[in-house]
């Protein structure tokens, strides 16, 4: 409770005044200490806890009111000092106010005015104490802020240093990356998701003679320089979804010294699968093309040159064979038959090589006349049966002819090749089925065997030039050059048809081609 009681020192040498005021103020709830001399007042101020209010006359015994005020103010600047005097003068009032008095009342004073003055003084004291507390709080907060800002500066400094390190690392890895892509022997362009070039390497700049690079260019601008076909086709469908078909391509660069270039495109996808760019790689295939052309030329010339002497060897052998056996030594006829058979085989090989070079040069020159594939298939089977007794040939054909527009010799060559493969790759014999049937607007010819089959990973390659499945094992065992299917496909393609294969290792294979059916009524 003591802390909340307002303590008041009353200084006056008039015992009557002291008594009256003491009583009045006590009734107001103040704890009042009364002294009648300046000395006692100074002693009370020095001895006791600071008073909340000092009410003093200016003229008192042994010392004056101003001295008392100074002492009280010194003891506690927040003490409310009110001067009471009977001798009003401006000078004494100013002096009192200078020494810390908060108010000045004239004796005899109105008690209500006195009480009001004390209350105001106390209110001011309370406010100034509160203000003081706020100031202290603010100073404490300032101190905390200063401490924080010190820490913050330290952190900012550390973060800046780390950032500088990272920037340097990033610059170094960027330098390494560009050194790597610049040392590539393929051209590289990287597009961002807006279709603008963000990266190009030294090779691509040299290949397309663009020393200033492609940075920032659009797909269209790049195409104008490189001469490449469109990179992607955007086609909104009915749902307004755009489907993009990115194209790999081979093309020649424009200009006085064109280069042959192969382009490979891949999408760059973010972790969530969205496309964030495209990577385009350009390979200069000019030299490879030249070498391929030289090879094709060699193939063509060599097979032509081989064919001429071979034709005459074969011709003369057959001529000799037709002569009477009596003209020759006993084994002469056998020798001639061997020579003829081997020459025929060699002729087939040379013919195959010639066909390959024709397909490569796109000069196969097939004729197009109505051909009955039913009769053709039956004829080929008839020719094969006698020489392959361990195979059962099953033919399933429609009763009526099935016409296509094609080259009879070439079609026979295809069917013969498929059949001889069926026989060759079913070394343990078995059934060889040949089926011909109508299939919509097409005629389909199917050759099915129960032979060794083709491994799934090799199936896509069997129509390639010189390809033989697992060649080290097979070629020696089965012979051949891996050209039959390539040529067959070349012929069927040329006639506008399709040749396909299905196969299961150990169970057998099925080759089938389709060609558009020819009807007499067709124009």
**Toward ligand ADP, which CB reaches closer, 77 or 479?**
479
Q: Which of 332, 333, 480, 516 binds ligand ADP (CB under 6 A)?
A: 480
Interface with ligand ADP by CB under 6 A: which range of 69-77, 166-174, 252-260, 484-492?
A: 484-492
Q: Is 483 in the site for ligand ADP (CB under 6 A)?
A: yes
**Toward ligand ADP, which CB reaches closer, 190 or 306?**
306
Using CB atoms within 10 Å of the CB of residue 484, give its burial: 0 to 12 exposed, 13 to 18 middle, 19+ buried. Answer: buried
**Toward ligand ADP, which CB reaches closer, 262 or 347?**
347
Q: Which of 434, 462, 491, 499 binds ligand ADP (CB under 6 A)?
A: 462
CB of 490 to ligand ADP, least distance (A): 11
What DSSP string runs through 95-135?
A: HHHHTTEEEEEESSPPHHHHHHHHHHHHHHHHHHHHHHHHH
Residues 409-438 that bind ligand ADP (CB under 6 A): 421-422, 425
**Toward ligand ADP, which CB reaches closer, 421 or 514?**
421
Q: Which residue matches tokens 């507390």?
A: 133
How far does Cα 373 stand from its chain's mean position?
Answer: 53
Please, which contacts does 456-461 make with residues 24 or more away whose CB atoms are closer than 8 Å? Answer: 456/503, 456/505, 459/501, 459/503
Please list the alpha-helical segments (H only) found in 110-267.
Answer: 111-182, 202-207, 219-226
CB of 344 to ligand ADP, least distance (A): 16
Treating both helix axes as pointing N-terminal to C-terminal, what angle do 65-75 and 38-47 enclose, rounded to 10 degrees? Answer: 0
CB of 423 to ligand ADP, least distance (A): 8
Structure tokens given for 455: 């491994």
Residue whose C-alpha is closest to residue 483's, from 302, 316, 358: 358
**Toward ligand ADP, which CB reaches closer, 34 or 421?**
421
**Toward ligand ADP, which CB reaches closer, 60 or 485?**
485
**Toward ligand ADP, which CB reaches closer, 6 or 413?**
413
Q: Which of 482, 492, 513, 514 binds ligand ADP (CB under 6 A)?
A: 482
The residue with its CB nearest to ligand ADP is 480
Beta-strand relationship, 7-11 and 31-35? parallel
Rounded Cα gap, residues 435 and 397, in angstroms:
6
Q: Which backbone phi and psi does 152 adopt, to 5 degrees? A: -60, -45
Q: Which backbone phi and psi does 449 adopt, to 5 degrees? A: -125, 170
CB of 239 to ligand ADP, least distance (A): 44
Q: Which of 474, 498, 502, 512 binds ligand ADP (CB under 6 A)?
A: 474
Cα angle 239, 240, 244; round to 5: 115
Beta-carbon count within 10 A of 332 CB: 14
CB of 299 to ligand ADP, least distance (A): 16
Q: Which of 452, 491, 495, 499 binds ligand ADP (CB under 6 A)?
A: 452
How far does Cα 288 stand from its chain's mean position?
Answer: 33
Q: Is 262 in the site for ligand ADP (CB under 6 A)?
A: no
Beta-carbon count within 10 A of 515 CB: 24
Q: Which of 21, 261, 485, 499 binds ligand ADP (CB under 6 A)?
A: 485
Number of residues that bind ligand ADP (CB under 6 A): 21
**Toward ligand ADP, which CB reaches closer, 484 or 490?**
484
Q: Which of 484, 491, 492, 497 binds ligand ADP (CB under 6 A)?
A: 484
Q: Is 451 in the site for ligand ADP (CB under 6 A)?
A: yes
Q: Which of 32, 443, 454, 495 binds ligand ADP (CB under 6 A)?
A: 454
CB of 482 to ligand ADP, least distance (A): 4
**Toward ligand ADP, which CB reaches closer, 77 or 455?**
455
Residues 157-216 that bind ligand ADP (CB under 6 A): none
**Toward ligand ADP, which CB reaches closer, 239 or 457?**
457
Helix count (H) and strand count (E) of the chain?
13, 19
The residues that bridge with 513 in the sheet, in sequence order, are 445, 499
Using CB atoms within 10 Å of the CB of residue 410, give its burial: 0 to 12 exposed, 13 to 18 middle, 19+ buried. Answer: buried
**Toward ligand ADP, which CB reaches closer, 251 or 467?**
467
Using CB under 6 A as the criterion, which residues of the chain lie in contact with ligand ADP when the complex forms? 421-422, 425, 449, 451-454, 462, 467-469, 474, 480-486, 509
């Amino acid at each position: 409770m003591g802390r909340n009681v307002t303590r008041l020192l009353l200084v006056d040498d008039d015992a009557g005044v002291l008594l009256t005021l003491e009583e009045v103020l006590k009734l107001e709830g103040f704890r009042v200490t009364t002294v009648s001399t300046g000395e006692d007042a100074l002693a009370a101020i020095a001895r006791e806890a600071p008073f909340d209010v000092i009410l003093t006359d200016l003229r008192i015994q042994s010392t004056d009111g101003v001295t008392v005020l100074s002492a009280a103010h010194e003891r506690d600047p927040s003490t409310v000092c009110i001067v009471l005097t009977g001798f009003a003068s401006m000078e004494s009032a100013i002096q009192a106010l200078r020494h810390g008095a908060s108010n000045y009342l004239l004796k005899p004073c109105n008690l209500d005015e006195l009480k009001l003055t004390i209350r105001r003084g106390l209110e001011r004291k309370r406010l100034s104490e509160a203000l003081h507390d706020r100031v202290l709080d603010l100073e404490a907060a300032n101190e905390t802020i200063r401490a924080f800002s010190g820490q913050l500066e330290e952190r900012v400094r550390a973060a800046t240093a780390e950032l500088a390190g990272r920037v340097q690392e990033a610059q170094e890895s960027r330098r390494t990356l560009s050194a790597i892509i610049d040392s590539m022997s393929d051209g590289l362009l990287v597009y961002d998701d807006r279709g603008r070039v963000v990266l190009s390497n030294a090779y691509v700049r040299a290949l397309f003679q663009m020393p200033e690079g492609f940075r920032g260019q659009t797909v269209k601008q790049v195409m104008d320089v490189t001469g490449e076909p469109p990179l992607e086709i955007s086609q909104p469908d009915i749902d307004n979804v755009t489907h993009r078909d990115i194209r790999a391509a081979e093309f020649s660069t424009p200009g006085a010294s064109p280069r042959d270039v192969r382009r490979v495109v891949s999408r760059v996808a973010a972790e969530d699968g969205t496309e964030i760019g495209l990577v385009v790689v350009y390979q200069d295939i000019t030299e490879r093309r030249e070498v391929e052309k030289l090879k094709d030329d060699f193939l063509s010339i060599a097979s032509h040159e081989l064919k001429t002497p071979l034709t005459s060897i074969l011709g003369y052998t057959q001529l000799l064979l037709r002569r009477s056996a009596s003209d020759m030594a006993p084994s002469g006829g056998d020798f001639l038959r061997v020579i003829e058979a081997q020459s025929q085989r060699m002729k087939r090989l040379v013919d195959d090589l010639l066909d390959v070079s024709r397909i490569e040069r796109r000069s196969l020159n097939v004729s197009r006349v109505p051909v009955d594939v039913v009769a053709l298939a039956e004829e080929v089977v008839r020719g094969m049966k006698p020489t392959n007794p361990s195979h059962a040939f099953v033919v399933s054909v429609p009763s009526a002819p099935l016409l296509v527009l094609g080259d009879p010799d070439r079609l026979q060559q295809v069917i013969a090749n498929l059949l001889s493969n069926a026989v060759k790759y079913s070394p343990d014999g078995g059934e060889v089925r040949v089926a011909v049937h109508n299939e919509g607007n097409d005629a389909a010819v199917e050759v099915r065997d129960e032979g060794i089959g083709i491994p799934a990973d090799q199936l896509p390659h069997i129509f390639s030039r010189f390809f033989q499945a697992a060649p080290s094992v097979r070629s020696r065992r089965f012979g051949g050059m891996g050209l039959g299917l390539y040529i067959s496909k070349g012929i069927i393609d040329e006639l506008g048809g399709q040749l396909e294969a299905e196969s299961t290792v150990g169970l057998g294979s099925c080759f089938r081609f389709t060609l558009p059916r020819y009807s007499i009524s067709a124009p």
